[in-house]
Structure 1
Amino acid sequence: MINKVMVLFTSVALLLIGCTGQDSDHAKEKHQSVETAASAQDEGQREKEEQEEAPKAENTEEKVKPEYRVNKDTWSFEPIGDADPKVVLLTFDDAPDKYSLEIAKTLHRLKVPAIFFVNGHFLENDANKAMLKEIHELGFPIGNHTYSHVNLTELTEKEQEREIVKLNNLVEGIIGERPKYFRAPFGSNTNHSKEVAKKEKMLVMNWTYGYDWEKEYQDKNTLTEIMLNSPYLGNGANLLMHDRKWTSEAIEDIVKGFQKKGYEILDPNLIETPA
């Protein structure tokens, strides 16, 4: 009988010890869980406080201050203040046809800027749209040369506006921004086309000189020679060229020739444009 009692007492004791151990483990786990949650809460609070204390990031991108403005009597560019007067601007019309991207890649390799004036009828296929996008991504500003390359003096005011605004809308849809420069085909501006350009916040510009559409200058050597030695060459000259094979072949020698003469290639971003 005594043995049975002792066995029963021993069993009860072991059961109580086991229960006590389990309760201890549960309590320990619960305590650890509370500590972890509290720690996470404290960490989250610290991060929140640090974020509130940290200064907000500011937009450091600043608009480049204009250093040149167009002279509308000569269509050349004059320095504002003490900017270097010995500059020339490179521009290419009738883009992007066959050679614009090749010209852009050459200029990019030479690390010189230019404006590419585009026509809408060249942008009616995906290949040329991709070409325009690549030219822009290389860092070259895009100008408006009207949608159909027609003489604006022969159009009604409504037709003129359509030629200009339709192209701006198309260009914006391809590269994400509207042109800031306008050049009328044949240099044939009208009072209305100038007003439309003003509303579109584009700078109207013609050119100082250009030759690559003339038959006698449709090869690399003669074009290079006349561009570098034109009687119209001077400080701030606005140089007109086109999307042409011979122009593409000559452009590197033309750029290096101007640089050898001491001219800087004018960055279009430094030109004053309508606000």
Structure 2
Amino acid sequence: MKKIITLSLLSALAIVSAGCAQEEAMNDNDETTEGEETELNNNEDNNGNNNEEPDSDEITDENDELNNEGNEEQAANEADDEDNASEEAYQPAEPLYEVAGPENNFIVRPIEGSGADEEVVLLTIDDSFLSANFQYALDMAEILQEHDANAIFFINGQLLSSEEEQDRLRELHEMGVEIGNHTMHHHNLSELSEEEQREEIVKLNDIIEEVTGERPRFFRAPYGVNPEYTQEVVEEEGMQWMNWTYGYDWEPDYLEAEPLAEIMVETPLLGNGANLLIHDREHTKDALADIITGLRDKGYEIVDPALIK
């Protein structure tokens, strides 16, 4: 019996000794492994594959980033919705007027049944961008804006190869005025071949559309000369051609602002729908505000070209 007890005690002591030795060996191994794990974790961080749970600051930063992305996406969606709503809300103006032919001095008149006011006049401004000497189109557009009026600016194309002139044209269009076609080079079209007539008209339409995004709806020939072939091209292009009822700013007696403003309002040619011709000139620019005011004092409103068929 004593022998059995002695053997049991010896076995227990052997187990305890072995356990202590194993624990000491494991602690030694832990010191080495800890360094290896640190290097491994650093490598995992550098490779973006660290699976350790981020601390609270990292979570907050990540949530903020996600919230910002969500807000940006929401703002973009709202902007798209506004754009779509704006596009849906915008409708081209319903035409109320039409341009009469030469037998009626190219007046603008109400379309039958439209109920539009007859006491209107149309302002048209020729020779914009014809040469470097004529630089008043933007000033005239500002004057029109200040007086809540509009006009057709008949543009020439000979300077529009310049980026600066294209920027001016773009700015003029963005001010809301109607851009018309006055040919590329202001030639008398009756002196040109059919091919040249087409080039003078279509090339300018292409340039204006490229710069402004819109193709001209109105055409005026230099000197009012409209050969039969020119009229055919204009019709193919879907434009309305017109000359004018009266104009004076090229005549010697009206090369200053005051007499020009007076004759434009007091002429016996003024009447319902009169198609008024003025030019991109300094003295005309200086007279424009008085012309608008004088016409309204006479009971005429300036028709918006957008309302013309």
TM class by shorter chain equals 0.7 to 0.9
Q: For 1:241, which of 278, 285, 297 is the aligned residue?
A: 278
Larger RCO (alpha carbons 8 Å, 6+ apart): 1
Task: Indicate if the aligned counterparts of 1:95 and 1:122 stay in contact, CA closer than 8 A.
Answer: no
**1:261, distance to aligned residue in structure 2 (A):** 1.2
Q: Give the Cα separation in 2 of the matches to 1:69 and 1:263.
A: 17
Residue 107 of structure 2 is aligned to residue 79 of structure 1:
no
Residue 84 of structure 2 is aligned to residue 64 of structure 1:
no
Q: Give the Cα separation in 2 of the matches to 1:115 and 1:260.
A: 22
Equivalence for 1:165? 202
2:119 corresponds to which letter in structure 1? K
**1:260, distance to aligned residue in structure 2 (A):** 1.2
- Deviation track 1:202-245 (CA, whole Å, cap 9, x = no partner) reads 11111000000111100011100110011110000110000101
Task: Indicate if the aligned counterparts of 1:142 and 1:179 stay in contact, CA closer than 8 A.
Answer: yes
Q: Give the Cα separation in 2 of the matches to 1:216 and 1:122.
A: 30
- What SS is found at the alignment partner of 2:146? helix
**1:175, distance to aligned residue in structure 2 (A):** 0.9
Equivalence for 2:224? 187
Structure 1: give runs of 5+ residues left out of the alignment: 9-55
Residue 118 of structure 2 is aligned to residue 89 of structure 1:
no
Structure 2: give runs of 5+ residues left out of the alignment: 1-8, 20-83
Residue 244 of structure 2 is aligned to residue 177 of structure 1:
no
Equivalence for 2:41? none
Q: Give the Cα separation in 2 of the matches to 1:239 and 1:203.
A: 16
**1:124, distance to aligned residue in structure 2 (A):** 3.0
- What SS is found at the alignment partner of 2:271? coil
61-70 or 108-117, which deviates more? 61-70
Q: Give the Cα separation in 1 of the matches to 2:145 and 2:178.
A: 13
TM, length-normalised to structure 2: 0.69
RMSD over aligned Cα atoms: 2.9
- What SS is found at the alignment partner of 1:116? strand
Q: Give the Cα separation in 1 of the matches to 2:159 and 2:208.
A: 11
1:60 corresponds to which letter in structure 2? A
Q: For 2:244, which of 196, 207, 229 is the aligned residue?
A: 207
Indicate the percent of aligned positions where both proteins have the same amino acid: 49
Q: Give the Cα separation in 1 of the matches to 2:151 and 2:268.
A: 22
Q: Give the Cα separation in 2 of the matches to 1:249 and 1:60.
A: 38
TM, length-normalised to structure 1: 0.78
Q: Which is higher, the Rg of structure 1 or of structure 2?
A: 2
Count residues with an aligned counterpart: 236
Equivalence for 2:269? 232
**1:254, distance to aligned residue in structure 2 (A):** 0.5
